Structures are given as structure tokens and as C-alpha cells.
Amino acid sequence: MEQHSNGDMITGRSSQAMSAPELSVVVVARNEENVIGRCLDSVVHAVSHRNAEILFVDSASTDRTVEIAQCYPIGIVRLDPHLSLSPSAGRWLGTRLTNGEYLFFVDGDMVVIDGWLAHALEVLGNQHVAGVGGRLFWILPGEELHLGRRDDFPLGQVPGLGGAGVYRRRALQECGTYNPFLRGEEERELAYRLSSGGYTVERVEAPMAYHLNKPRSVQENVERATYFRGVGQIMRHYALRRIFWDLLREQREPFLFWAFVIVLFLLFAGSTARHSHLALTALAAVTLLGATALAIWKGFRRVWLYLHEQWLYGVRFLQGLMIGLPPADRYPERFTREKQ
């Protein structure tokens, strides 16, 4: 591959290392200037006694995230901001630009816990295990790191790892790594392909990382519904297969909400066409009672936010259905290498 100076846009695969490391750590982030230093401190410390490489993949940050990352002995690349960006795209690129036998994917708002990698690699000694994750511990803004607020994710063989995990490269080569076009539920879709290839994905009790929550505005929380676009993409691509039904069951609240809205709309439309005032009055009463029950359940002050969220879920889901899930090899490999 042709060599380019820092800051030039480059396309194609990275040059292969003379000797592949045991482990590649891929850190993916966007606008994490307040926490990226703690994340990279923990990653560098975690691999200090291992044959490992660290690659930081930035998704078009507009703050000081990349500037801070440049202070560390790691490789840094920035995805072309004109592409469709997502954590999945960053992990896809990180897989292609690294060479380790194992890949540890870390989000930029996480702090790796000492001892995790040794435990993960021990689990991966089982050749049927393709990926392994551990416990996450939620840390609120301003808190010190502690193990008091543990996730409640299931253990054992699971349908997907969320946010962080260690994977066997050979399994990703056989079944495909993250799909860069996917805008949500990317770990679930990856685990489905791995299981279809005869592998398992497991979560164990061992502490893996602290998740550093940051303050979010109401609008930012609402916009997180963007991930539902990935649900639409997956349900179109894997129509009526096991992952389709699993997502339908697990995400049933938005689907039930929209089923109720559609039924009401059809009933109103039918009543209007028949000029049935009695039916319209009954439907209006049912709608009012439903809205009142919703307000009591969610709290009157949260009703608008809830309805806004459900609206966005529906819009994003339809967008996902229309987009579908193109093959990963169609994604343009365009990025800027900030630091070798």
C-alpha cells in the first residue's frame, strides 16, 4: 500500500505487521474529551505486559478527543466525516487495520478493569468461543470508580455483547466482523452470524470495565432512539429468522405502541367513511382513556417525552427497513491516519 503522510486521506488496507501481535485493542469514540484520557490510561496499562497493539478510531469528533489521544503511544485514525458513521463502522475499520490474534473492542467512555484481559483470554482458550464479555459497572458523573452499580446483563451463552468484548480474529474472518452500515444492535447481529457459524458468544462474571456515564440533555436521550434504525435493518435482512423474532419480542413495547396507533387510525378512518358518529365517539373515549392511563403509568410530565420517543422509534425503524443491510465490503474504506 502506498505510504501517506499524516493527515492525508488514504484508501485500502493497512500494511501487514512483520509479526502479528497477540492482541489488538480497538478504541472507538466520538466527542469524549472529558473521559478519553481515563479510557486510554486504562487500556495502555492493561496491555503493558502483553504483545499488543492499540488503535484509536475517531468518528469525526469536533472537540479535543483526538488531541488528547495523540499524547498516548497508540495508532490513531479518523473516519471520513462524509461517511455514514457509527460505532459499528469504527470497529469494522479497526478490525481491518489491526493484526492481533484477538481483538478487544472498547468504547471511549469506558475504563478497563485490571485482570480482565487475562480472564477473557482464558475463556477464549475454548476454541468454540468466538467472543467474551464481562461485567460493566456504571459510574455517574463526578463519582469515583467503584463496583457498586453492576449491570444486570445475563451470563453464560448470550445473543450478543454490548459495547465491549474480546473476540477471536479467526472467527471474525470466517463469519464476518461488524457490519459498518448497521446503525444499532450491531453486537446482536454479529453474534447471530457467529452462532450460525458454529461459535458461541459468552458473558462471564469477571469485572470488565467501568462505564463512565456523561450528562445528557433530554434531546440527546431522545435522539438515542436512532439505534432503532438498526432494528429495522436487521428485521428486513433476516426476515422471519430467529434474530427477527428475538428482536420483535425484546423490543415489543414500541411495536405494541405502533400496532395500537395503526388500529386506532384504521378504526377512525372506517368510522368516518361510514359516517358513524357513535363509533367515532366511542373511539375518542377509548383514546382519551388510553392517554390518561399512559399519563398515570409514565407520569404526566413524561408523557410528551414518551410519545416523542415512540414516534422516533417508528421513524427510525421505517428508515432501517428502507435502507436494509448492504454487504460490509461496500463500505468505503476512507480515513485519515493521524498517528502511526
Predicted local confidence at residue 15, as pLDDT? 38
d(CA 66, CA 12): 22
Cell of 228: 432503532
Sequence ranges of the domains in the chain: 9-215+328-339
Predicted local confidence at residue 142, as pLDDT? 85
CB 236 within 8 A of CB 320: yes
Phi/psi of residue 101, each to 5°?
-65, -30
What is the distance of C-alpha 27 from the center of its chain? 13
Question: 268: which residues sit within 8 A by CB, 6+ positions away?
Answer: 280, 283
Nearest of 1, 26, 5 to residue 16 by alpha carbon:
1
Amino acid in the structure at residue 30: R
Predicted local confidence at residue 4, as pLDDT? 35
pLDDT tens digit at each of 340 positions of the chain: 223 333 333 333 333 444 789 999 999 999 999 999 999 999 999 999 999 999 999 999 999 999 999 999 999 999 999 998 889 999 999 999 999 999 999 999 999 999 999 999 999 999 999 999 999 999 998 889 999 999 999 999 999 998 799 999 999 999 999 999 999 899 999 999 999 999 999 999 999 999 998 766 555 555 567 889 999 999 999 999 999 999 999 999 999 989 988 887 777 777 666 666 666 676 667 666 776 776 676 666 677 777 888 889 999 999 999 999 999 999 999 999 986 6
What is the CATH code for 9-215+328-339? 3.90.550.10
Interior/surface letters 198-224, b for 16+ CB within 10 angstroms, e for the rest: ebbbbbbebbbbbbbeeeeeeeeebee
pTM reported for the whole predicted model: 0.85
d(CA 131, CA 163): 12
SS3 150: strand
Phi/psi of residue 165, each to 5°?
175, 160
Predicted local confidence at residue 3, as pLDDT? 31
Predicted local confidence at residue 299, as pLDDT? 67
